[in-house]
A and B are shown apart, each in its own frame.
Chain A
Amino acid sequence: MTTKLRPAAAILASALFAVPLYYVLVNVFKPGDQIAQEPASVPLPPTLTNIHAVLTRPDGLFWVSLANSLLVTLLSIIVLTVLSAMLGHYLARSGKRWTKVLALILLAGLMIPPQVILIPVTEVLRLTGLMATIQGLVLFNVGYYVPFGVFVFTGFIRGVPVELEEAALLDGASRTQVFWRIVFPLLRPATASVLIFLGVWIWNDFIDPLIILGPSQGTTITTGIYRSIGQYQADLGSVFALMFLATLPVLIFYLALQKQFVKGLTGGATKG
């Protein structure tokens, strides 16, 4: 392609693709009546009315959802990182044959649709008294996403020389110390991948919080948006503002860690 045609074609394709993003972005900053009349126009002058309305809702929907989403996401990714790094270490370092079976059982977990297990999961949670609780949702997230974490970590741990661990053991460190002080710091790229991917997936998750937290017990950002579209039908400005505010943390996270995001993806892609 000629040198002038390529950038033009690239910009045109991207602009076409970005129309829905543009549509949300401009309407966040427009008063409601203007959204209905001229949905595509640039917001001049921009207004913060919609964002203000969402932030000061009397029922505090946005703040409650934000707190729940933060709590669920942070707890889940911390526990997931710790447990999958350790389980990954076991799979990478134990020479036993049955670890291959275990690895296969975990691999299967990567393709299980949540819908297949959700009904019995609600019963397991009800039985343990954890249904409709944040802890219940976190435990489910941990179980459901642990295979992904394990596979990222196992590959990386295989790349860490065993001699390093053996030397530290000879020097009198305990096995837990060896792992947390010597091996784990070397796994930073894997940890970044796991935190980023699982963070985004769990933050954006819809079906699991919808069903596990239930209708009354608590709302995350995504289920909050879902439940409020009904009442907000007439007030598009608030819908857009809520979606914008809900996405902002992930967007900032992504823009700050863009390189890591893409590296995480491509690491998986080239290795298959």
Chain B
Amino acid sequence: MGRKPILPRVWHFASFGAPGVVIYLCFVMAPILISFGYSLTNHNPFNPPAEFVGLENYRSLFQDEQFLTALRVTTILTVIVVVVPNVLGLGVALLLDRKGWLYNVLRSVFFTPVILSSVVVSIIWTKLLDDRGPVNDALRALGVEHPPGWLSDPDLALYSVASIVCWQMLGFCVVVYLAGLQGVPAELLEAAEIDGAGPVRRFRAVTWPLLAPSLTINTVVLLISAFKTYDYVKVVTNGGPGSGTTATIAFDVLATGLDANHVGYASAMAVVMLVIVAALTTIVLRFLRRREVDL
């Protein structure tokens, strides 16, 4: 951008840049700094004054069984949500990568959950997976005498919640992969076919490398949204069944900070969460981008 700016700089910033920047600073950047500050205190709005406790919150955090559980829950959920919609989405996109009204309609079917509110999705699945809901009714009709308690069994609930998130995110991956598939030149595939490459070989040698940008965008979007999973947990299980079997870090931050008013401690949790998201995103982006450049 070596070009001479066309507007007087100060005026340009003050009138065009400043309004957005100021609101962003007030409602995103300042709160992050405040969170960081709180994380070094024992701030509790109903029990002032707050005292400076240094890194004490962080130290207790990593000895806190509940937080370590939340960390584990979030990790399991994130791995499932990054992998499953990515893999299934690619499969569905390959299946639907044809022209015609039928395929257009089927694409819309997969995309519809993406535009639903996560609250609506959560409620639908809560009803479907209820112990006496239609899913278990169907299983009983098929002869299963004791169908599982999808949401009431502490060993199962987390996987049920993860499946719900996967169901909603699948359509997003499908659409992104379909767009990527459109960018694969037909001549390349034909050339490979003439050279004697079978469908599997053609996919591995031509299509898959060219889908690298789609993989990047899906992985990053899934990673960020999985890591901040809150709505599904709040509506479907409220953190349970039992203690913390489905409580993610995002869920714990608000439960600790807003329900229990331990703002200092919750802020430390939030800071740890932010650091993990930032680190993960940077690493994944760098890794996947390098793959793109190599092609």
Interfacial residues, chain A to chain B (CB-CB below 8 A): 6-7, 9-11, 13-14, 17-18, 20-21, 23-24, 39-40, 83-84, 86-87, 89-91, 93-96, 102, 105-106, 108-109, 111-124, 139-140, 142-144, 146-147, 150, 162, 165-166, 169, 175-176, 179, 200, 203-207, 211, 221-222, 225-226, 229, 236, 239, 243, 246-247, 250-251, 254-255, 258, 261-262, 265-266, 268-272
Contacts and interface: CB of A to CB of B under 8 A. Distances in A.
Given A95-B5, A206-B118, A269-B217, A143 B108 contact: no
B154 interface: no
A44 B12 CA distance: 63
Interface in B113-157: 113, 115-121, 123-125, 127-128, 133-134, 137-138
Given A14-B110, A20-B124, A95-B1, A265 B175 contact: yes
A94 B12 contact: yes
B277 interface: yes
Contact of B179 (A14, A84, A119, A265): A265
Contacts of B230: 115, 207
A165 B277 CA distance: 40
Nearest to B224: A111
B3 interface: yes
A266 B1 CA distance: 26
Given A14-B109, A90-B13, A251-B115, A109 B24 contact: yes
Question: Which secondary structure dominates chain B's binding surface?
Answer: helix
B281 interface: yes
Contact of B98 (A6, A11, A179, A271): A6
Given A121-B31, A269-B180, A17 B110 contact: yes
Query: What are the 9 tightest A-B residue pairs by CB atom distance, in nearest-first order?
Result: A143-B27, A266-B179, A113-B228, A204-B117, A90-B17, A120-B31, A87-B20, A117-B31, A120-B34
Contact of A113 (B115, B227, B235): B227
8 contacts: A11-B106, A14-B109, A20-B124, A40-B134, A87-B19, A115-B254, A262-B111, A270-B179
B119 A94 contact: no
A206 B254 CA distance: 14
A115 B228 contact: yes
B27 A20 contact: no
A105 to B, nearest CB: 7
Contact of B28 (A117, A207, A270): A117
Given A40-B134, A119-B35, A222-B117, A270 B110 contact: no
Given A117-B32, A119-B266, A175-B7, 20 more contacts: A10-B102, A14-B109, A86-B16, A93-B5, A94-B7, A95-B2, A95-B5, A102-B21, A115-B228, A116-B270, A120-B34, A120-B267, A123-B45, A144-B27, A179-B16, A204-B116, A204-B120, A225-B123, A262-B111, A269-B180
A119 B258 contact: yes
Contact of A246 (B26, B117, B235): B117
Given A90-B17, A120-B34, A113 B273 contact: yes
Question: Which secondary structure dominates chain A's binding surface?
Answer: helix
B60 interface: no
Contact of B128 (A20, A106, A118, A179): A20
B214 interface: yes
Interface in B183-228: 183, 213-214, 216-217, 224, 227-228
Contacts of B179: 262, 265-266, 269-270
Contacts of B111: 254, 261-262
A119 B257 contact: yes
Nearest to B35: A120
Contact of B119 (A24, A169, A206, A211): A206
Interface string B220-264: 000010011011001100000000000001100110011000010
B281 A111 contact: yes
Contact of B175 (A39, A91, A229, A262): A262
A90 to B, nearest CB: 4
A83 B20 contact: yes
B6 to A, nearest CB: 6
A27 B112 CA distance: 18
B23 A143 contact: yes
B253 A115 contact: yes
A75 to B, nearest CB: 13
B20 A150 contact: yes
B232 to A, nearest CB: 10
B273 A116 contact: yes
Nearest to A140: B27
B106 A10 contact: yes
B278 interface: yes
B123 A243 contact: yes
